[in-house]
Amino acid sequence: MTADTTADTSAEVQAEVQAEVQAEEPAETLGRRLSRLAHALNRPSRLTLMSYALCAPLLALLGVCFVLPLLFMMHTALHNPVIGGAWPEFIEALREDHDEVPGEPVFRALVQGFQQQQEDEAYKLTLKPFSQQNPELWRLLQHSADTLPPEHFASAKAWFIGSDPAWAEADTWKVIRRVAAPYTTHNLVNALDVTLNPDGNLRLKPEERRGYSLVIRDTLIMGFWVTLFALLLGYPLAYRLVTMRRTPARIVLSGFLVLLWTSVLVKAYGWMAVFDRHGIINETLMGIGFIEEPLALRPSWALLIVAMTYALLPFMILPIYQSMRRVSLDQLRAAVSLGAPPARAVLTAYLPATTPGIAAGCLLVFILSIGYYTLPAMAAGAAETTISMLLVEFAITIANDGMAATMASFVLVIAAILFWFYMRTFAPIRGEITRRTSQRVSAR
């Protein structure tokens, strides 16, 4: 027994050594990292167990306060709450029947539903999802409910089809099935300003009826500009910081941290003081007689982008600064000594070595900007709408949880996609690029 285990272990060790030797060749793959993790988990020393135990509260907190709410939010976005609870018999019957036009039991259940609805006012709500999603179907249902004869009949199906031939159409039932499903893409479809045909194809709503998709588009455009400006401002600034002496660089950096710690409200209020109707800009311009009437600088899209850029600038500068610190000045010198004119040296030797920092900064700023609420609400509130403002509108004013959750999910999904892209593109090379190639690392 013992001998066997030893043999196993040595085989394992051999395999591991082999894996290590092979891993020299390709870049370290996710698979290899996982297998190494698995290996570490298989040999739980007291130390690793201890460290996991120490992490447990954090993991629990993450699960309860972060993962669960996100899952719940995405559930809310897709959940179809009303009809399932209201007409349980009908839903049940519909689920058991797989024909294009269902049989008698489904029609009977529908009759039951109508009768209950007539008896109980609360059931009026049942038809709400129909009215939202498909007005034609809603009219059909209303009509049938209103003309429903009080007496029992031999075949409910025959009566329904007799009252309106639409009941015999497969399309009608496709729509009903979709509305009655426990989960619905209705919120999603609605947010993107598309409509679902009965056959499930997506069609863009006519231009005049689009709204939410424009908000999403505008928010993404705003995120793009904010990211771009933050990059254009932040990159040279970070470079200046890196080339500065240590002490002044620390002072400037702590200045950025203070900017980061300052409440968003305070910052927003500061911007209002500058851009308001009687703010510094207008007062100054009027004071020197440049304008007669105060300019309407707020609320405006431009102000929003300016304010957001400054609010998020530290998130751009810090990762870039970090990545720049790892690039030694020698690399720039090397490029020049190898024949690159200074500008070309920066473009070919310096900039590419800082791309991981640039990517991280852009990722942070973009994701934060599309989810920002306070500044957009204060700087552009009346003029423009962003996803986050729409979210607050749905969650608080209209109390449409489904749409609020959908909007929140959009931000989450965009962030996730960008993060995935970042990890896929930069994670494999980040280690290679940001590791100092000089021996200073080992010397330390």
Looking at the Cβ atoms of 101 and 433, the one nearer to other proteins is 433
Instruction: Pick the binder of other proteins from 6, 197, 284, 348 (CB under 8 A).
Output: 348
Looking at the Cβ atoms of 54 and 443, the one nearer to other proteins is 443
Looking at the Cβ atoms of 86 and 349, the one nearer to other proteins is 349
Q: Are 294 and 278 in contact (CB under 8 A)?
A: yes
State how beta strands 194-196 and 202-204 pair.
antiparallel
**Least distance in Å: CB of 339 to other proteins?**
4
**Least distance in Å: CB of 25 to other proteins?**
10
- 336 near other proteins (CB under 8 A): yes
- 33 near other proteins (CB under 8 A): no
- 435 near other proteins (CB under 8 A): yes
Q: Are 163 and 202 in contact (CB under 8 A)?
A: no
Q: Residue 399 corresponds to which tokens in the numbers above? A: 């109390």
- 434 near other proteins (CB under 8 A): yes
- 322 near other proteins (CB under 8 A): no
Amino acid code (one letter) for 260:
L
- 202 near other proteins (CB under 8 A): no
Looking at the Cβ atoms of 69 and 431, the one nearer to other proteins is 431
Distances (CA, A) of 289 to 278, 293, 433, 435: 15, 10, 55, 57
Q: Are 324 and 238 in contact (CB under 8 A)?
A: yes
- 328 near other proteins (CB under 8 A): yes
**270-309 footprint of other proteins as x/- string (CB under 8 A):** ----------------------------------------
Distances (CA, A) of 410 to 187, 190, 367, 375, 407: 11, 13, 11, 19, 5
Q: Which one, of 379, 143, 140, 427, lies nearest residue 276 by Cα? A: 379
Q: Are 89 and 113 in contact (CB under 8 A)?
A: yes
> From CA 291, how far away is CA 159, in angstroms rounded?
75
- 39 near other proteins (CB under 8 A): no
Distances (CA, A) of 145 to 110, 118, 123, 228, 411: 9, 9, 12, 57, 41
Window contacting other proteins (CB under 8 A); options: 8-16, 247-255, 260-268, 424-432? 424-432
- 248 near other proteins (CB under 8 A): no
Instruction: Pick the binder of other proteins from 8, 20, 120, 432 (CB under 8 A).
Output: 432
Instruction: Pick the binder of other proteins from 124, 330, 347, 425 (CB under 8 A).
Output: 330
Residues at the contact surface with other proteins, assessed by CB under 8 A: 27, 327-328, 330-331, 333-342, 344-345, 348-349, 352-353, 355, 429, 431-440, 442-443
